[in-house]
Amino acid sequence: MVRYILWRIVVMIPTLVLISMFVFTIIELPPGDYFESYVAEMRAIGEKADMQEIEELRARYGFDKPAPIRYLRWATGMLVGDFGYSFEYRMPVNDVVGDRLWLTILVSTVTIALTWLIAFPIGIYSATHQYSWGDYGLTLVGLIGLAIPNFVLALVFMYFANIWFGTSIGNLMDPQYLGQSMSWDKFKSILEHLWIPVIIIGTAGTAGMVRRLRANLLDELQKQYVMTARARGLHPFRVLLKYPLRMSLNFFISDIGSILPTIISGAEITAVVLSLETTGPLLIRALQSQDMYLAGSFLMFLAFLTVIGVLISDIALALFDPRIRLKGGSMK
């Protein structure tokens, strides 16, 4: 196990280097750069840009140098915690992210926890009560949850909140706390606003997890070892927990690789609709404006979380399921 983990960590280094090259290349592909987009935007609204300031920024951050030099400067800076400068917000990337990162982690973590708490009991009930009225009803609700996009559900919530209660449910806090440092009153305001995006974002995830857990558990319950355990008189609940449920959770463990980056990226479109102060809208805006250091740092962080999540899921699968081994070979 230790040798396998060390080998995977060594492999992660060239993997991340290749990803960083790919990310930099993709961001560089559109014609022009942030400064050209900024000048065009200012001209479109009838204002003049400070060309002297723009040329100084271009020279300071190496935009007058070849792309390989700019890549090396960006990549080596990330190794020491310098993620570059955001031209859109006129401040370092670390300061731009600020509280948005922690708010995104809070929203995503609560959403994932709520999804698990709801999906597991429902999935187990549907599998153990196949073709019952409860199974049909929960299946219908799950299919509706999968069919309705989160951002559409957000629009519906916002509409009825305005019609019925005359209030807006956007943002993660009251307007007076925007831009302020964290305090007890601000934290309470975040908790008061948190449940709406959690419900909206968690709807599709809950429905999808219920369907997968039900399908996998039904497959395990029909295998010979379960029938043998029942024939020997073991309690049905003990039989369920001992092996079938455990074996049907492989998909859940495998999803760790995608869950970790999701915690940071969040539901971008839903966050835009609800005007959430999370990192999703920030990433979209950075990609639109070609704010390369901000967008590239986000994408590299997501790539890092992905490779870490895949490593954790592989190790957990090997420990959780005795049928899985860390490397190939015959089993005796």
The DSSP result for 81-100, as a single string, is T---EETTTTEEHHHHHHHH
With a cut of 70, say whether residue 332 has pLDDT above it: no
Q: How confident is the model at residue 303 (pLDDT cuts 50, 70, 90)?
A: confident
Using CA of residue 36, residue 42, residue 46, residue 50, what is the dihedral sign? negative
Least confident interval from 72-76, 82-86, 114-118, 119-123: 82-86
Q: What pLDDT was estimated at residue 18?
A: 92
φ and ψ at residue 116, rounded to 5 degrees: -65, -45
Question: Would you say residue 64 has pLDDT above 60?
Answer: yes
Question: Look-up: residue for tokens 């300071």?
Answer: 60
Mean pLDDT throughout 77-99?
Answer: 80
pLDDT in tens, 233-263: 888 788 887 778 877 877 777 777 777 677 6
Q: Average pLDDT in the 206-215 region?
A: 84
Q: What is the pLDDT of residue 266?
A: 57
Pair of tokens at residue 244: 């079938």
Look at residues 248, 221, 217, 230 and name the one whose alpha carbon lies nearest to residue 320. 248
What is the pLDDT confidence band of residue 328, given thresholds at 50, 70 and 90?
very low
Residue 85 has pLDDT above 70, yes or no: yes
> What Rg do the C-alpha atoms of the chain give, in angstroms?
25
pLDDT tens digits, 155-199? 888 888 778 876 667 778 877 777 777 788 888 888 878 888 888
Q: Which residue has the higher pLDDT, 322 or 210?
A: 210
- Residue 327: pLDDT band (50, 70, 90) is low
Asked whether the predicted pLDDT for residue 126 surpasses 70, the reply is yes
Residue length of the chain: 332
pLDDT tier at 292 (50, 70, 90 boundaries)? confident
Is residue 331 predicted with pLDDT exceeding 60?
no
Of 95 and 19, more confident: 19
3-state secondary structure of 68: helix
- State percent of the chain over pLDDT 90: 0
Largest CA distance in the chain: 84
Mean pLDDT over residues 35-40, rounded? 74
Mean confidence (pLDDT) of the chain: 80
Q: Does residue 28 surpass a pLDDT of 60?
A: yes
Write down the pLDDT at residue 119. Answer: 86
